[in-house]
Amino acid sequence: MESRRKQEQISVIIPVYNVAPYLDQCLESVCGQTYRNLEILLIDDGSTDESGVICDMWAEKDARIRVIHKENDGVSSARNEGLKAATGTLIGFVDSDDWIEPEMYEKLARSIITGHTDAAMCGYVDYPYRTEDKPVNKGIKSYPACGFADAVIHIYERNGYFTSICNKLFRRSLIYRNGLPILLDQDIAVGEDELWLFTVLQKMRKASFVPEALYYYRARAGSVTKFATVTLKQMSVLHAKKKVLKIIPQTADVQALARSVFYNDCFLMLVKAYCTKDTEKMRIILRELAPHRIYWLKTHDAPFMRKLKVMLLEFEMRFCFPVCIVQFTNDIKRNRLQ
């Protein structure tokens, strides 16, 4: 088994853009993997800080690292460049401001090889940027290997295995058709990884699960601006979610859960649009979310008080309560809805 595992090369694709304070920690964790047969692709997406220089320094220290410098065009473009360049029989992704446990790829590869599956995923640590919040382990429930429909449920369910592509490992045959990779949609700025994930997984035979929190997802303060203006790029998540609903199995249980997640994931965007008095975007978002509200109320296992708070917020927005009241309601217990 050991010799067989050594024959499998993992290509790890890491998009890099202006993450100089975090990059060394990320690369230390990837280069320090117990699974040594790695091809590490650093895609410098036109960084304007020292990130590109740090990438080159690491490439000098570790022969497994290959650096690709390109003009800035977004994370999907960077990941696509990595997919075009990857040569491994197994493909993984890490975000450059995150880090991983030393045995993550060892355990994911073993899960694929011994379980004869096409993809494997592990749990993760939701690592908060605020010091007063505690890290939370998610995706640590144990499941047998399963097909696409059950995998969607395990990914979507509360504290499930996450729609990110970074805590997962894929067989090359899932991603490449006639030698060409399935690429991420560069027109979608938010939710593009979820769309790519389910596009790829729909072709699989089975996925396997490693119920350990091995990936550290860092939520940075700059990415959670409390009531920042909702941009058109951010609203592309609505388009991504609608596409996902067509890709995943059309069974009642899978669709109900996916629609509840649709509502849950996009509700904060509605609050932001209201609090920044962007009535046009608010109407669009509310129209997109309305058909999924009932699924969220029925199937999403959020605590009762969370559901009550969300319904109160929607009531206040529908009846044009002052922004200060909506902000106050939203700030009850936590500064952001989750």
Residues 193-226 have pLDDT tens digits of 999 999 999 999 999 999 999 999 987 554 434 4
- For residues 208 and 98, state if they share a domain: yes
- For residues 216 and 278, state if they share a domain: no
pLDDT per position as a tens digit, 220-263: 554 434 457 889 899 999 999 999 999 999 999 999 999 999 99
- For residues 194 and 243, state if they share a domain: no
pLDDT, the chain, mean: 91
Q: Which residue has the tokens 């649709």?
A: 262
Under 8 Å between Cβ of 14 and 92: no
Number of neighbouring beta carbons within 10 Å of residue 123? 21
- For residues 183 and 254, state if they share a domain: no
In a domain, 336, yes or no: no
Report the pLDDT averaged over residues 31-56.
Answer: 97
In a domain, 94, yes or no: yes
Q: For residue 262, what are the domain limits? A: 232-330
CATH at residue 215: 3.90.550.10
Q: Which residue has the tokens 């990779």?
A: 181
pLDDT per position as a tens digit, 280-292: 999 999 999 999 9
- For residues 76 and 153, state if they share a domain: yes
The secondary element (H helix, E strand) that includes residue 216 is strand 207-218
- For residues 239 and 167, state if they share a domain: no
pLDDT per position as a tens digit, 141-169: 999 999 999 999 999 998 899 999 999 99
- For residues 151 and 283, state if they share a domain: no
In a domain, 338, yes or no: no
131: pLDDT confidence band, cut at 50, 70 and 90? low
- For residues 200 and 242, state if they share a domain: no
CA dihedral 288, 294, 300, 301 (to 10 degrees): 150
Question: What are 196's two structure tokens?
Answer: 């790519």
- For residues 72 and 109, state if they share a domain: yes
In a domain, 204, yes or no: yes
- For residues 211 and 271, state if they share a domain: no
Total-model pTM:
0.91
The secondary element (H helix, E strand) that includes residue 296 is helix 293-299
Question: What are 322's two structure tokens?
Answer: 């002052």
2: pLDDT confidence band, cut at 50, 70 and 90? very low
In a domain, 227, yes or no: no
The secondary element (H helix, E strand) that includes residue 286 is helix 279-289
- For residues 86 and 115, state if they share a domain: yes
Question: What are 297's two structure tokens?
Answer: 């109320």
Q: Which residue has the higher pLDDT, 230 or 334?
A: 230
How many domains is the chain built from?
2
- For residues 60 and 31, state if they share a domain: yes
The secondary element (H helix, E strand) that includes residue 15 is strand 10-16
